[in-house]
């Protein structure tokens, strides 16, 4: 499932949801173009993802982030996500952080 936000016909941001087992889903690719950031679009997209996930009877939403991006981590924590762990992969120059939120 993919959703996006338009501004005068131009995509300003988007996200995708991947349905998983056990009434869970994974939020991927939540993105807002730089010229549209800090206007609440990311939060609106995130809350839209919550609503869509709930309609599909998801009980938990999972995300992966770049662990070193503390600003992003804090933003997700402010949206109700909890940090649950990290994993370092040899093929990435960063550490993967994992977060989840009950719906």
Express each pLDDT in 25-80 by its tens digit: 999 999 999 999 999 999 999 999 999 999 999 999 999 999 999 999 999 999 99
Residue 1 has pLDDT above 70, yes or no: no
Predicted confidence (pLDDT) at residue 8 exceeds the cutoff of 90 = no
- Count how many domains the chain has: 1
Could you give the CA distance from residue 11 to residue 16 in angstroms, rounded to a whole number? 14
Q: With bands split at pLDDT 50, 70 and 90, how would you rate the model's confidence at 9?
A: confident
Coil, strand or helix at 57: coil
| Distance of alpha carbon 14 from alpha carbon 82, whole angstroms | 22
pLDDT of residue 98: 98
Buried b (16+ CB within 10 A) or exposed e, 54-71: eeeebeebbbebebeeee
Task: Domain of residue 23: give its range.
Answer: 2-102
Cα–Cα distance between 71 and 93 in angstroms, integer? 18
Give the domain CATH number at 76: 3.40.630.30
pTM of the model: 0.88
């Amino acid at each position: 499932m993919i959703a996006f936000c338009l501004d005068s016909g131009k995509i300003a941001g988007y996200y995708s949801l991947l349905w998983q087992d056990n009434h869970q889903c994974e939020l991927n690719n939540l993105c807002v173009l730089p010229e549209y950031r800090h206007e609440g679009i990311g939060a609106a997209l995130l809350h839209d993802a919550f609503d869509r996930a709930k309609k599909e009877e998801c009980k938990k939403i999972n995300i992966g982030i770049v662990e070193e991006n503390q600003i992003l981590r804090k933003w997700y924590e402010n949206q109700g996500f909890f940090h649950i762990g990290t994993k370092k992969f040899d093929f990435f120059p960063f550490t993967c952080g994992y977060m989840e939120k009950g719906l």
